[in-house]
Amino acid sequence: MAVYVALFVLIAGGAGVLTATADSPEIGFENPDVEVSQNETIEVDGQEWVVAEITEVEEGGGGGGHGGGGGATTSIVATIERNVTVEQSEAWANESTVQVDDGEWRVEIEGNDSNSFTLVEVLDRQAILENDSQADNETVERDDGEYVVVTEDGESTLVPTEEYFPAPEERSYATGDSLEYGGQTATVDEVTSGQAVLVWEATQTESIEITQHSRLTIGETEFVAHFPDASTLQLSSDIEGYEAQVAQIDQFQQYNDGLTRVLVLAFLSSLLLLGAAFVPSRY
């Protein structure tokens, strides 16, 4: 019985030593295609990106404000950005109202084969009336039309609205003409009987969020990301090499789990044998 117990203890000890001393392999790139820090530039396939941020993010836990983080872990996240020029467009329907130069304008297109349109100023009649101390703030309707009541020297006069209000400003544009719209220089791209189409170029910021060992494509090249520390981003196009390292880590974990089970079984077997040795004989 002692020999068997010693054998199981020896097996358990060997498994324990192997489990404790084995070094777990880790992901690492000896010659990454890209190695950058925050605010540095990445240039791949003619595309230029800037590392806008590399930061540690806390995940999980919670803790409720008492007793610590409750098992919270941290991960590293990077954001890369670039400015791209895109073409934008907008269609103005005939008889619609648009905002240009902080004012309202009505779009007017004449004819079915027109290649131009006219912007007609929409007058703020109410504001004009309120700014005139001699005029009533509302127009009045009569059988023969609409009037503005103007009072001078105590005498009220009806002035036809077409005479009282100024003539609206008109601006005409043809295909290929440019105008300022929304802070951009827009070009009249097409005019039909139903609408006018404006196009312009705008700059937009494109961003990619990168996490540990995530895959991303820049240009036509696929990379796998790795953070050797909390301030450095590495990108490697050696996908096969990365997958081989992942397989090696999985295999190590399987071997380590197997040794742990051997340790537990050997220890339990030793206890079982020792217990059986002290069971009193029935004979």
Q: What angle do the packed helices 2-21 and 239-277 form, to 10 degrees?
A: 160
State the Cα–Cα distance between residues 104 and 264, nearest whole angstrom. Answer: 82
Instruction: Measure Cα distances from 174 to 42, 60, 187, 263 in Å.
Output: 43, 60, 9, 86
Tell me what pLDDT residue 224 has: 92
Tell me what pLDDT residue 87 has: 94
Distance of CA 1 to the CA centre of its chain: 68
* 3-class secondary-structure state, position 16: helix
Residues 247 and 27: beta-carbon distance below 8 Å? no
Residue 84 has pLDDT above 80, yes or no: yes
State the Cα–Cα distance between residues 55 and 12, nearest whole angstrom. Answer: 43
Ranking 20-24, 62-66, 220-224, 251-255 by mean pLDDT, the lowest is: 62-66
Helix (H) or strand (E) holding 138: strand 135-142
Domain boundaries defined on the chain: 1-24+237-283, 93-205
Residue 274 has pLDDT above 60, yes or no: no
Residues 24 and 252: beta-carbon distance below 8 Å? yes
